[in-house]
Amino acid sequence: MAFGAMDAVNSRGLRVPDDISVIGFDDIPTAGCVYPRLTTMRQPFDAIAAYAVREVVGMIAGQATGAARIAFPAKLVVRGSTGPVAGVTPTTPRRHGRAPRGTASGT
C-alpha cells in the first residue's frame, strides 16, 4: 500500500518526502530497497507467532485462553520517506502536542 501511495504521489508531480511523507507498516524486506527508502513500523513477528502458538496449544489441551486482546510493541524505523512537519523545526518548542503559536496551524 505504501509503495502504491508513493507512486501516486510521484505521478501527480509531488515528491516524497519533500511534499508529502509516507509511512508503511510491517517493515517488509523491500522497504529498504525502494527510493526513497520507506519509513515503517516494525512488528515483533516472532513474539506474535510464539504467543499465537501458545494460545492454540493451550486451546487444544483444553486450557483457558489468555487475554482476548493483547498488544505487542511496534518500533518506528525512520528512513527516507518522511520529512519534517511544515513550520516546525527541531528547535521549535512544542506545546502539549500542538503546533507552536504563530505557525499556520498554531494559534
pLDDT recorded at residue 86 = 76
Could you read off the pLDDT of 2-27 as tens digits, one per residue? 999 999 999 999 999 999 999 999 99
Task: List the chain domain ranges.
Answer: 7-77
Q: Is 68 left (phi over 0), alpha (psi -120 to 50) or beta?
A: alpha
Q: How far apart are CA 21 and CA 15, in angstroms?
A: 9
- Summary mean pLDDT of the chain: 84
